[in-house]
């Protein structure tokens, strides 16, 4: 037996073990760490992945809120929960750690879907006049939002969000004003109009003694659209 080769193989194996074993143990330990997800506290380190969002949060009106105050606050969602011991586990159903949230879930008139910290009411808006619907309360008999200048913006955001991957409900519209991001808005402005008329014969008028007629406007059509871009800076 070549004891030199055996000794060399043993040394190499030991060296590889020294290099690989700590990493293996580290991965194993990290993958099996249980975070406290009880109803009263949450020690998930959200900032580890969302440091940029956290920095924005510190400069916003929501700086005193915790991540879970919005993203684990939907009463219709069962989130994963681990309390005390790893044996006391509730698997998540509609969401595991966190869910996307619409601004109006917390800022509607009656924030009944929100389980944490309902925010001040952000009304009124009238979206029904644009034929869109939302699970959130944008108006009531007192806050009708009938003359709100941003009704179309909010309604359009809801309509788009219902058929795309945009942020939920009217959140895209909320961010247009309430976030420090560049917003580019394109307006289609008409620079012409076509008027369609017909000549109507009324006949002889005994009072005036004239045969009378009138021009009747049948249709008005705006034409010659130009796109005007407005940029809202930070």
- Could you report the per-residue pLDDT of 182-222, keeping only the tens digit for each? 677 788 888 899 999 999 998 998 888 889 999 999 999 98
Give the start-to-end residue ranges of the domains of the chain. 1-99, 101-181, 183-234
Measured CA distances, 189 to 107, 124, 227 (Å): 33, 27, 6
Range with lowest mean pLDDT among 13-27, 79-93, 102-116:
13-27
Sign of CA dihedral 157, 158, 162, 166: positive
Query: In the structure, what pLDDT confidence band is assigned to residue 3 with cuts at 50, 70 and 90?
Result: low
Confidence of residue 38 (pLDDT cuts 50, 70, 90): low
Q: Mean per-residue pLDDT for 43-63?
A: 85
* Residue 216 to residue 65: CA distance in whole angstroms: 62
> Residue 113: is its pLDDT beyond 60?
yes
Phi then psi for residue 186, to 5 deg, are -105, 120
CA distance 69 to 62: 10
Indicate the range of 29-33, 39-43, 114-118 predicted with least confidence: 29-33
Q: φ and ψ at 225, to 5 degrees?
A: -75, 140
Using CA atoms, how far apart are residues 114 and 103, in angstroms rounded to an integer? 11
Whole-angstrom distance, CA of residue 171 vs CA of residue 103: 6
In sequence order, which ranges of 100-201 are alpha helices (DSSP H)?
A: 103-107, 151-161, 171-178
């Amino acid at each position: 037996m070549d004891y030199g080769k055996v000794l060399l193989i043993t040394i190499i194996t030991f060296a590889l073990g020294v290099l690989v074993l700590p990493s293996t143990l580290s991965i194993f330990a990290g993958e099996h760490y249980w975070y406290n997800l009880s109803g009263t506290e949450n020690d998930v380190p959200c900032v580890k992945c969302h440091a940029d969002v956290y920095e924005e949060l510190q400069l916003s009106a929501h700086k005193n809120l915790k991540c879970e105050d919005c993203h684990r606050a939907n009463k219709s969602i069962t989130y994963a929960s681990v309390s005390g011991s790893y044996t006391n586990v509730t698997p998540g159903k509609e969401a595991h750690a966190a869910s996307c949230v619409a601004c109006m879930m917390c800022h509607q008139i009656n924030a009944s879907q929100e389980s944490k910290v309902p925010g001040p009411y952000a009304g009124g808006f009238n979206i029904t006049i644009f034929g869109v619907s939302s699970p959130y309360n944008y108006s009531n008999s007192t806050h009708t939002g009938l003359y709100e200048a941003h009704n179309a913006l909010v309604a359009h955001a809801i309509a788009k969000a219902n058929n795309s991957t945009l942020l939920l409900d009217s959140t895209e519209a909320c961010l247009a004003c309430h976030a420090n991001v560049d917003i580019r808005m394109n307006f289609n402005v008409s620079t012409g109009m076509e008027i369609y008329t017909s000549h109507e014969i009324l006949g002889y008028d005994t009072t005036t003694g004239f045969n009378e007629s009138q021009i009747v406007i049948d249709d008005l059509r705006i034409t010659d659209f130009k796109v005007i871009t407005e940029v809202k800076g930070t």
